[in-house]
Structure 1
Amino acid sequence: MRSRAFHKFWLKVAAVIVGSFGPVFFLGTMVAATEPARLSLDILSWPIDGSVTYASADTRFLSALTGGFLLGWGVTIWCLSAWVHDAAPEGVRRTVVTGLTAWFCLDSAGSIASGNAANAAINVLVLLAAVGPLWLPARD
């Protein structure tokens, strides 16, 4: 499970995990389609209580930025797997793990500081799923 081929496969898994949040938050930019993004934020700020709204244009704008960054980051991870991994597998692995760890630290700290500590716990699950076997170098 720690072969280079499996790592290359897992990079695509990580790309889908990260990138899949992009379209969800993009939907939050349009008043008629905000429910998937609103529900996602409600889940991430546990408990689910309906307190999260997308009534503000500022929130919808931030959702556009977030969606774009997440989709772009997911596509970047996919492209690293497809176009760079074979030439520099350890460099790609370390780059993706470092990026995911940086996201985890800042997102979790911000979640706690903003009163949404439950999201930091959810972040642990997302980090573990996205990094998976990439924590350790391949054994080839």
Structure 2
Amino acid sequence: MASKTHKFWLKITAISIILYAILFFLGTIKETDGAIEMVLDISSWPLDNAQNYNADSTVFLSALLGGILFGWGILIWFLSTKIYDIAPEQTRKIVLISLLSWFFIDSLGCIFSGNFNNTIANIFLLLVLVGPLWKPAKK
């Protein structure tokens, strides 16, 4: 895999995380919380409309998660644009380890909370976000 491909994929990963962050942010606004409610319903399969944003604590957690995800996405973006050329292998490893850390904790939390199906979805999301970053770039 070429360094150019890795650098491009880092941006894809950053944009994907930022878009997900925006969905959670929109969950804090009553008029726009439908999209994240749908994502939560899909994530906690089967589709049953049991997931909602009626509780103030859910809206608050959505704000926190949106902010954390947004910051994570911005961090990956800047790693790809400002640091990758200086330290490509270290940048790849930093992002890969952060994605694996997310996967492990998120999936374990889903299992403990009775939402095992989301762990399956996380596998696919992990594969998309990591893409070619599994392997070091060829020089």
TM-score, normalised by the number of residues in structure 1: 0.97
Residue identity over aligned pairs, in percent, reads 45
Summarize deviations over 1:9-54 as a string: whole Å, max 9, x none.
0100111121111110111111222101111111111111100010
Let me know the Cα RMSD of the aligned residues: 0.7
Q: Which amino acid aligns with 2:123?
A: V
1:80 paired with 2:79, answer yes
Where does 1:1-140 land on structure 2 (aligned, <5 Å)? 2-140=1-139
Summarize deviations over 1:77-118 as a string: whole Å, max 9, x none.
010000000000000000000000000000000000000001
Unaligned runs of 5+ in 2: none
**Greater Cα shift, 116-125 or 14-23:** 14-23
Q: Name the SS of the counterpart of 2:50 in structure 1.
A: coil
Q: Which amino acid aligns with 2:68?
A: F
Q: Which amino acid aligns with 1:131?
A: V
| Runs of 4+ with >4 A deviation | none
CA distance in 1, matches of 2:30, 2:17: 24
Q: Name the SS of the counterpart of 1:20 in structure 2.
A: helix
TM-score, normalised by the number of residues in structure 2: 0.98
Summarize deviations over 1:104-136 as a string: whole Å, max 9, x none.
000000000000001000000110000000000
Count of matched residue positions in the alignment of Structure 1 and Structure 2:
139
Unaligned runs of 5+ in 1: none
CA distance in 2, matches of 1:27, 1:74: 17
